């Protein structure tokens, strides 16, 4: 496959903006600001392992600046930069209980929901972590945004994406067209197009779930996972188990190589663990744009859920279309 070399993410965003003559460039500039924040976080994440060695693990580093916990650093990096971007009227973050207003006089026409550093418990063991973001158009006419502007269905998103910090730092995002992946060249500080037009395979070879929760699973989940472990060449079973415990990393592998991720409700947590606004919804938007599916364990499409609270949790089954279709039949009691 021809891979266009050297296309930066900024060029790619502007090229897709050109497809929409009515575009003012605000969304492109918003994404560009978000990408600056991502590069800043990436540099800090990659230094994290050195914190102890370089004596930066205390409250102040060698420059005498306060060293923040990485997720606190990531949260502050995004909210401070985006509050003054001029493109947002309100934000919500996994790290903050209430809404985050845009700076006075900098209110814009979009909203941002983000998980600044998902999987941060994995930092100390050098496992991939990620930033997830979701962008909607505001509903209120002007001025400071409100919770109402944030509580919108995933299907109404104008853009969604994530950055996965790992062996390399990758940005994956979608606007109205396809899903595209960019890899950071840290020596230049640029994201270059490395995965144009990502399409999820119709059926995957992996399944991702925390089997440690199986004692609390409801019957359909137990039966579906047992089904994936049976021998059946025709339907590429048994599937391989892959579970990193970082949603962005598990999702990214399934997006590229094919698979299904399940974090259903169980007897202890009926709504599961993952958050709708800044985890399930943006990843569902990406999955559907790449030909996959994302549903709850009672068959609702993630993108059609009407949010009622900023940090509401939702059961999540997301991945290759055929795999989610079969899982849906198990959860509906049809298999």
Binding site for ligand P6P (CB under 6 A): 118-119, 121, 210, 245-247, 273
Between 78 and 316, CB nearer to ligand P6P: 316
Where are the extended beta strands (E) located within the chain? 88-93, 100-101, 110-118, 129-137, 159-165, 169-174, 179-185, 190-195, 206-208, 240-241, 259-263, 293-295, 316-319
CB 137 to ligand P6P: min, Å: 27
Between 166 and 245, CB nearer to ligand P6P: 245
Please list, in sequence order, all residues whose beta carbon lies within 8 angstroms of the beta carbon of residue 289, skipping any fewer than 6 positions away: 174, 178, 179
Between 253 and 273, CB nearer to ligand P6P: 273
CB 83 to ligand P6P: min, Å: 25
* Closest to 132 measured CA to CA, from 240, 304, 255: 255
CB 210 to ligand P6P: min, Å: 3
Asked if 82 contacts 108 with a C-beta cutoff of 8 angstroms, the reply is no
Q: Alpha-carbon distance 240 to 220, whole Å? A: 20
CB 212 to ligand P6P: min, Å: 7
CB 263 to ligand P6P: min, Å: 6
CB 296 to ligand P6P: min, Å: 16
Q: Distances in Å between the alpha carbon of 332 and those of 103, 224, 326, 328?
A: 47, 11, 10, 6
Between 210 and 214, CB nearer to ligand P6P: 210
Between 10 and 122, CB nearer to ligand P6P: 122
Q: Distances in Å between the alpha carbon of 11 and those of 28, 29, 177, 214, 255?
A: 10, 12, 15, 46, 24
Between 12 and 293, CB nearer to ligand P6P: 293
Q: Classify residue 109 by its DSSP letter.
A: S
CB 139 to ligand P6P: min, Å: 28
Terminal CA-CA length for the chain: 39
* Closest to 319 measured CA to CA, from 282, 289, 291, 293: 293
Please list, in sequence order, all residues whose beta carbon lies within 8 angstroms of the beta carbon of residue 141, skipping any fewer than 6 positions away: none
């Amino acid at each position: 496959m021809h891979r266009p070399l050297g296309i930066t993410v900024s060029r790619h965003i502007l090229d897709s903006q050109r497809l929409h003559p009515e575009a003012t460039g605000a969304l492109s500039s918003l994404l560009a600001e978000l990408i600056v924040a991502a590069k800043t976080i990436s540099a800090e994440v990659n230094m994290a392992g050195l914190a102890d060695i370089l004596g930066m693990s205390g409250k102040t580093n060698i420059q005498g600046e306060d060293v923040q916990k990485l997720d606190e650093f990531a949260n502050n990096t995004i909210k401070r930069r985006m509050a003054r971007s001029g493109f947002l009227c309100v934000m919500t973050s996994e790290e903050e209980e209430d809404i985050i207003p845009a700076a006075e006089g900098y209110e814009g026409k979009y909203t941002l929901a983000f998980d600044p550093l998902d999987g941060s418990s994995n930092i100390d063991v050098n496992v991939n972590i990620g930033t997830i973001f979701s962008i909607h158009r505001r509903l209120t006419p002007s001025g400071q945004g409100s919770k109402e502007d944030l509580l919108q269905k995933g299907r109404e998103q104008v853009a969604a994406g994530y950055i996965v910090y790992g062996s390399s730092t990758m940005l994956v995002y979608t606007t109205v067209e396809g899903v595209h992946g960019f890899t950071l060249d840290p020596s230049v500080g640029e994201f270059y197009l490395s995965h144009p037009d990502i399409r999820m395979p119709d059926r995957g070879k992996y399944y991702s779930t925390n089997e440690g929760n199986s004692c609390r699973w409801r019957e359909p989940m137990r039966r579906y996972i047992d089904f994936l472990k049976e021998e059946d060449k025709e339907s590429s079973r048994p599937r391989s188990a892959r579970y990193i415990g970082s949603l962005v990393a598990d999702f990214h592998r399934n997006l590229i190589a094919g698979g299904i991720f399940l974090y259903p409700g169980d007897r202890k947590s009926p709504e599961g663990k993952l958050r709708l606004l800044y985890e399930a919804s943006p990843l569902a938007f990406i999955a559907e744009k790449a030909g996959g599916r994302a549903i709850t364990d009672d068959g609702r499409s993630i993108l059609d859920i009407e949010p009622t609270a900023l940090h509401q949790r939702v059961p999540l089954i997301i991945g290759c279309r055929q795999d989610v279709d079969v899982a849906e039949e198990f959860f509906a009691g049809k298999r």
